[in-house]
Amino acid sequence: MNLSRRMILSGLLASAAVPAWAEAPERSIRPLARASDLSKQPKQVQRAIKSAEDMVAEARLGGKVSFAVADARTGELLETGSPLLGQPPASTAKALTSLYALETLGPEYRFTTRLVATGPVTNGRIDGDLVLVGGGDPTLDTNALAEMAADLKKAGVREISGKFRVWAGAMPYVRALEPAQPDHLSYNPSLSGLNLNYNRVHFEWKQTGSDYSVTMDARAGRYRPDVTVARMSVVDRSLPVYTYADANGRDEWTVARSALGSGGARWLPVRRPDLYAGEVLQTLARSQGIILGDSVEIATSDQGTELVTRKSAPLPDVLRDMLKYSTNLTAELVGLTTSAQAGGSLRGLIDSAAHMNGWLKRTGDAGSARLVDHSGLSGESRISAADMVSMLVKAPQRDRLRGLMKSYPLEDRPGVVVQAKTGTLNFVSALVGYVSSPGSPDLAFAIFCADPPRRDALSEAEMESPDGGKAWLQRARRLQRQLLARWSSIHAT
């Protein structure tokens, strides 16, 4: 999902109504809600608190609603609604990916990107090729490449006799995280073993007389190197706004002149991230007086003498940012790396997600998990509310995950704190996490609202801003807030 459009929980803990009661198994193999909880409260409190069924009915979402809330210490389910119904988790899947990675890779894990030489360095000249070797780092950006170029200069390199190459074989190449999404959405880029700037290129346009000047650059911090691996042409048409074509390894974009106005900017996805990273390093090296030639070639091996190494931040820091900004690329690369470490398949996202599904079942008895990716971007993934809560309670790294989630006060509930991950797709809204309040046991919860038929009926042109989507999301958020307020009120000890 687009980072500028992330549906943050502060928005959730405010506003309007949501879907009809979910149709799902009426009985669960797990304990049902404790009827005694509400009876412990004063009579006026009992009368003031609506039932969950009434809240869902008043929300008027259409589609399905399911939820589960449990004592976070024991896992005892306190209240459920269609808890066994498989629902799209959207970006709450990133919480599961975080647990998977923390348990398998460990909190000390760091991603590595290297510059290696295939021959010796003699008098500032590499007698062979220089290879930029990707290690699947989802956080590599132009600033980091600038540091690597400076370190290459410190290593005494000024030129190469061979070729400048890139190697991205540590991860499978994926053209688009979700093929059903439109080509121009920046939150749906390609991925490979070598990635840069979350595999996005910055497109900016300015009107100059009757025409437009356009730039495509790899900006980050104080660096804004122009790139040619992605190119844009302004054409006379009304629709579609964007078209994309792969032109021998280069991204060829067109944009409708009628959509541009006087000027603006947006991020576009990159489909050849290895060549993109290579071109940017080439430019940055030139600024250091290092000549790497005029072309970027593909390497067949990552072997060579290591000249420069760049390590990412520790895994928990990577995951904290991923959960905060809901970066899909980070989730997929973290998941793929984890599956590879665990001995799983690296043929693609579906195989890697299947490996994670097996881990979820073994770790938290989450047998309903049918995830097809690690980010939740695909609307085809499914998990039940009961199994999501089971993972939040049983996973060995649950306390570390909780510390990585963003904390929010619950409106009108002094002292109540929610630590959660949101998930949003068209006509899908999910919220999972923990609730703590004075005098109450900590709670683990999952709330899934989804209307898959309405989502599936959207045309490609409607996906970016569907009619009724914003109002539906507001009602879903209000329902989620109401359920959290209810649970924090009635489950006091």
pLDDT tens-digit readout, 73-97: 999 999 999 999 999 999 999 999 9
Q: How many CB atoms lie within 10 A of CB 48?
A: 10
Pairing of strands 121-122, 159-160: unpaired
Model confidence at 412, pLDDT cuts 50, 70, 90, reads confident
Average pLDDT of the residues in 437-460 = 92
Note whether 3 and 327 are within 8 A (CB). Answer: yes
- Per-residue tokens: 232: 């844009």
Query: What is the DSSP-derived secondary structure letter of residue 223?
Result: B
- Per-residue tokens: 274: 């290895």
pLDDT of residue 299: 98
Model confidence at 39, pLDDT cuts 50, 70, 90, reads very low
In angstroms, the CA 54 to CA 216 distance is 52
- Per-residue tokens: 159: 């030129």
Note whether 488 and 68 are within 8 A (CB). Answer: no
pLDDT in tens, 293-352: 999 999 999 999 999 999 999 999 999 999 999 999 999 999 999 999 998 767 899 999
pLDDT of residue 146: 98
Query: What is the DSSP-derived secondary structure letter of residue 125?
Result: E
Q: Is the pTM of this model over 0.85?
A: yes
Tell me the CATH class for 3-107+315-490: alpha beta
Beta strands in 317-439 (DSSP E): 383-384, 406-409, 417-425, 428-436
The CATH number of 111-312 is: 3.50.80.20
Note whether 52 and 79 are within 8 A (CB). Answer: yes
Q: Which residue has the tokens 């990412």?
A: 312
pLDDT of residue 492: 54
Residue 246 vs residues 89, 191, 229, 252, 253: alpha-carbon distances, Å:
32, 15, 10, 6, 9
Query: What is the DSSP-derived secondary structure letter of residue 226?
Result: B
pLDDT of residue 472: 97
Query: What is the DSSP-derived secondary structure letter of residue 180?
Result: T
Helix (H) or strand (E) run with residue 86 in it? strand 86-87
pLDDT of 34 > 80? The answer is no
pLDDT of residue 16: 30
Note whether 149 and 288 are within 8 A (CB). Answer: yes
pLDDT of 441 > 90? The answer is no
Angle at 12 between CA 7 and CA 15, to 5 degrees: 125
In angstroms, the CA 308 to CA 51 distance is 61
Residues of the chain with CATH 3.40.710.10: 3-107+315-490
pLDDT of 204 > 70? The answer is yes
Pairing of strands 383-384, 86-87: antiparallel
In angstroms, the CA 287 to CA 283 distance is 7
Q: Is the dihedral of CA 385, 436, 323, 430 positive or negative?
A: positive
pLDDT of residue 5: 32
Residue 452 vs residues 86, 273, 416: alpha-carbon distances, Å:
12, 32, 33
Residues of the chain with CATH 3.50.80.20: 111-312
In angstroms, the CA 277 to CA 266 distance is 19
- Per-residue tokens: 85: 């119904």
For the chain, give the mean pLDDT: 89
